[in-house]
Amino acid sequence: MKIPLLAAILVLAFSIPATAQNQDKGMWYSASSSSNTVTGDIVIKDGKITINLRTYPLAAIRALTPAELSAVFAADQNSGLVGNFYRLFIPASTQFVRHNTLCGSEDTQWMATFVNGKSLQVAFFSGAQAPTLTFEAITGGSANLCGTYIYAR
């Protein structure tokens, strides 16, 4: 009796992180004025992101901490919501909807995601070094935040 219960607990414990990591995967429809005028719809899959029908390599770095989610997306630290941090490379010269770019004249090199139900928020960052995802760095400009976009399913 104890072994099947233990096995079920282990399966559940190991499936939770995988589920959290995969919440941002799939097709997302533009749901804000900024995403409508810059990116359009996006698709996030293992190892790649598609923005306005252009696909770019995407490397999952780690899950975001509650404090990082709160700093980047103004999410409640105690809500138990999840987000992920990625490395990518989108050249500054790449133009999307209405000839807009993600990070102006700088290459886009980092991405953070935050899923809340059927809503996805995505923040893009420039800079060769990973941004510091604290409230002070985000509001002070040292995190090189390019923009935040909202999508829905």
Q: What are the structural domain ranges in the chain?
A: 24-152
82 with 144: CB under 8 angstroms?
no
Per-residue pLDDT at 5 = 45
Per-residue pLDDT at 3 = 55
Per-residue pLDDT at 79 = 74
> Rounded CA gap, 49 and 59, in Å?
10
The amino acid that residue 5 corresponds to is L
Phi-psi region of 87 (alpha: psi -120 to 50; beta: other; left: phi over 0): beta
Per-residue pLDDT at 69 = 93
Nearest alpha-carbon partner for 85 in 70, 65, 107, 63: 63
- List, for residues 99-117, the tens digit of each pLDDT value: 999 999 999 999 999 999 8
Per DSSP bridges, beta strands 82-90 and 48-51 are unpaired
Find how far residue 81's CA is from the centre of its chain: 13
Nearest alpha-carbon partner for 83 in 45, 56, 49, 121: 121
Per-residue pLDDT at 21 = 56
Query: Which residues of the chain fall below pLDDT 50?
Result: 1, 5-20
> Which residues sit opposite 121 in a β-bridge?
114, 150
